[in-house]
Structure 1
Amino acid sequence: MTTPPDSARPRFGVNYTPSRGWFHHWLDFDLDDVRADLDSVAALGFDHVRVFPLWPLFQPNRTLIRPRAVEQLVQLADAAAERGLDVAVDGLQGHLSSFDFQPSWTVTWHRRNIFTDPDVLDGQAAYLRTLAAALADRPSFLGMTLGNEINQFSGDPHPDPDRITPAQAGDWLRRMLAACEEGAPGRLHLHAAYDAAWYADGHPFTPAHAARLGAATAVHSWVFNGTAQRHGPESVAVGQHAAYMIELSKAWADDPHRPVWLQEVGAPAPHVPADRAAAFTRTTVEAALDCPDVWGVTWWCSHDVDRALADFPELEYTLGLLANDRTVKPAGRELAALVAEARAGGFRPPAPRTTALVVDLPEEPVERAVCGPGGAVFEAFMRLAADGARPTTVLAGRAGDRAHLAARGITELVTVEEAGVGRSASPVSRPVC
């Protein structure tokens, strides 16, 4: 495995979007094209890629996992390793860039809830176990993520969701993570949710699921979620959004030093104007690296979506660090410079964040819009950050747990009211007694 010299040093990588054919490249898999793409990624100094098999193509029937498709995934992983790139694999795709990819045995005439139907669960577990086992002997294999933001299938605003309870979501996550562990024991197996898990009232996938199940907490930070619209592209809130999500996750984590993977973050136009993409990249990554216990940063995405492909939301076409011809864009140059600086200067882990914003929510919250853009917790955090603090968060139920606070290095507590949200007074804090 391409392990950084300093084990405490964060990893830097990209979500691999093929320059030709997007993820439809699995239909016409060309290893030479993949190698050329990976050459352009490795040239930027990254140490890993996150890759995305398309579930319906790899498992077109519940009892058929195509050996040729699995072989092509292994070929991609081997090609990455030859270029010094480790590989993390997402299994159930699932959902990518506004398109859903579900196999025919789960939809229309075979419509079944993908989180609770026993036959579907057996098929999913077999699929995840098979992918993990195929890569288990590769030192460059990091581990499995269950799927890309698969929580979006479980509720609004999906047009046809498979509705479940939080308990059922937890059961599904535990079973699928166990299947990955069976296939490749001891690897970095985790799950990834889009920000409804943190911000949406009533969403069945919860902050506790994200922060307690799996080997690390995955954070997907997108400022088109209302942050940029509310605060503007040059605001503290936009620059600190990824750091906020990292620190918000720690309120629910049982392990005070649980690793957090900033698994997706990007500069979506026009919410981040093209001429500010490089500056946004630097500000966002530097803020994330100022958070303790960050496993790594994986940018979305490697290459632009080819405009010959129709019907993507406009912002999806320009998220790449590289253009379709593999030329490096300004954000790509900036991120490569950040990677080089981090490695040349010798990484020093950030100091603990000693000021904690108290999040007055239960362990399993139904209401959590207060944590999203415009919510009291979100706005209080950003006010503290704007005033020069380096805030983290703690649940109200743990605010009196001295051992927990000490383990995280927290010495001051601030409530939403004390942060001065909605009034002009300066924030105040009180020491931990």
Structure 2
Amino acid sequence: MPEAVRFGVNYTPSEGWFHHWLDFDLDSVRADLDSVAALGLDHIRVFPLWPYFQPDRTLIRPRAVEQLLALADAAAERGLDVNVDGLQGHLSSFDFLPAWTRTWHRRNLFTDPQVVEGEAAYLRTLAAALADRPNFIGMTIGNEVNQFAAGPHPDPDRISEAEAEQWLGRLLAACAEAAPGGLHLHASYDAAWYQDDQPFTPAHSARLGDVTAVHSWVFNGTAQRHGRTAPQTEQHAAYLVELSKAWAEDAHRPVWLQEVGAPAPLIPAEHAAAFAEATIDAVLDCPDLWGITWWCSHDVSRNLADFPELEYGLGLLTNDRKPKDIAHVLAAAESKAAAPRSTALVVPSAPALRSRCAPGGPVFDAWFRLAADGARPTTVLDTRTADHDHLTARGITEVVTPDQVLPTPQGGTRS
């Protein structure tokens, strides 16, 4: 459990986006990192593009690895720690998969033995290269890799829950083998928590790896349904953090809000700072929070084509590295100790019932009714409601089911 909450940013280069690896300019990177460090943040999350680093299954480009190390060293010079995502994978609506896994060479990303061994070799190589850097936090297997395993991806590599768990175990072990003592994890987008047929499950997120990662995006129907200033929107990230705890076996497993951002037009630019302040305040009231890593550092250049409109303006800083109002919110954020949450809402343990927890579902709605009543809710699995040791370890003194949480006026009290 960390002594203080970490505050950082997902590093998006101001020049060339993640394609900057093709024309790597260390001076430009240094200038970007200067602008990040000036905000007083303590870490960045970094994204090598997988096909650029491993264009052939048995070729991991030494020059690309050297560039990654140069970036990490530049971050260290500015007091920034570094987490590295390996399998990119998927970023900002674009897929980046090496040619040796697609079309004429189509093989399942998660189950083909040669592909998995290639992935493990790649992660081992990056982790081993970074292992001696004192500012290296650890590896994330990849960014939201679960989106390749089910719909709505247009061409998914279908797998079972057991195959997903085997794949995660194999690649987490590769990271730990190459960089013992690092904080190694995997990161799913919110389908892992909300989508009934997603093979990457809440239990995988909350039990595998050294920390639970959650990615909170309110364009998932939350902001559309409730509006930009509703508690459901401003506390969506806190809800995901607390939802994740139901499946954790460690009562105080740390949770990392690894991605959260203010997507326009649902969160208009002039309201982004207020959204960020409300989101951060709510999340800091969650015990066992490892850190908050905002998406993202710099805007995407308008010179680049075909991004969804919302992607261009998510940066804390502009393309010329000037901080926006939202940057000052993150810069001013301070860690605080959060008291235990004593009221737990029962959630279904069956993965096929995850949609009950999604926006508009009965668990989601009940959680926010409890929050409106000032209950500071957390969650507990339906299989653990009578587990006294578990409840005591988490500081839970009251357990309620969704059908017990009746609508009350905003700010009212439960009878």
- TM tier, smaller: over 0.9
Letter of the 2:344 counterpart: A
Q: How much identity, in percent, do the aligned residues show?
A: 71
Q: 1:159 aligns with which of 141, 154, 158?
A: 154
1:405 counterpart SS class = helix
Q: 2:340 aligns with which of 342, 348, 352?
A: 352
Q: Deviations over 1:28-68 (max 9, x none)?
A: 00000000000000000000000000000000000000000
Distance 2:330 2:409 in 1: 37
1:244 counterpart SS class = helix
Q: Deviations over 1:113-172 (max 9, x none)?
A: 000000001100000000000000001000000000000000000000000000000000
**Residue 349 of structure 1, CA deviation:** 1.3
Letter of the 1:395 counterpart: L
Asked whether the equivalents of residues 268 and 316 of structure 1 are also in contact (C-alpha less than 8 Å), the reply is yes
Tell whether 2:371 aligns with 1:376. Answer: no
Distance 2:315 2:411 in 1: 42
Structure 2 gap ranges (5+): none
Asked whether the equivalents of residues 372 and 411 of structure 2 are also in contact (C-alpha less than 8 Å), the reply is no
User: Where do residues 10-409 of structure 1 align in structure 2 (5 Å cutoff)?
Assistant: 10-338=5-333, 342=334, 347-359=335-347, 361-362=348-349, 364-409=350-395
Distance 2:384 2:2 in 1: 30
Asked whether the equivalents of residues 376 and 421 of structure 1 are also in contact (C-alpha less than 8 Å), the reply is no
**TM-score between the two structures when normalised by the length of structure 1:** 0.94
Distance 1:269 1:285 in 2: 18
Letter of the 1:54 counterpart: L
Asked whether the equivalents of residues 188 and 213 of structure 2 are also in contact (C-alpha less than 8 Å), the reply is yes
Distance 1:321 1:283 in 2: 16
1:368 counterpart SS class = helix
Distance 1:423 1:285 in 2: 25
Distance 1:97 1:377 in 2: 29
**Residue 273 of structure 1, CA deviation:** 1.5
**Residue 426 of structure 1, CA deviation:** 6.6
**Residue 189 of structure 1, CA deviation:** 0.2
2:399 counterpart SS class = strand
Distance 1:164 1:423 in 2: 44
Distance 1:285 1:323 in 2: 21
**Residue 366 of structure 1, CA deviation:** 1.6
1:44 counterpart SS class = coil
Q: Deviations over 1:317-372 (max 9, x none)?
A: 0000000000001111111122xxx2xxxx4411100111111x12x412211101
**Residue 428 of structure 1, CA deviation:** 4.2
**Residue 93 of structure 1, CA deviation:** 0.1
Computed over aligned residues only, the root mean square deviation of the Cα atoms, in angstroms, reads 1.5
Q: Deviations over 1:270-309 (max 9, x none)?
A: 1111111111101101111100000000000000000110
Distance 2:220 2:381 in 1: 24
Distance 2:304 2:269 in 1: 21
Closer/same/farther in 2, CA of residues 62 and 239 from structure 1, 3 Å limit = same
Query: Aligned residues, how many?
Result: 415
Distance 2:102 2:125 in 1: 23
Distance 1:8 1:382 in 2: 29
Distance 2:403 2:3 in 1: 36
Letter of the 1:125 counterpart: A
Distance 1:385 1:306 in 2: 39
Letter of the 1:334 counterpart: V
Asked whether the equivalents of residues 2 and 290 of structure 2 are also in contact (C-alpha less than 8 Å), the reply is no
1:323 counterpart SS class = coil
2:45 counterpart SS class = strand
Letter of the 2:374 counterpart: G
Distance 1:152 1:29 in 2: 28
Moved over 6 A (4+): 422-427
Structure 1 gap ranges (5+): 1-5
In the alignment, what sits opposite 1:3?
A: none
**Residue 83 of structure 1, CA deviation:** 0.1
Distance 1:160 1:210 in 2: 23
Asked whether the equivalents of residues 19 and 306 of structure 1 are also in contact (C-alpha less than 8 Å), the reply is yes
Tell whether 2:405 aligns with 1:410. Answer: no
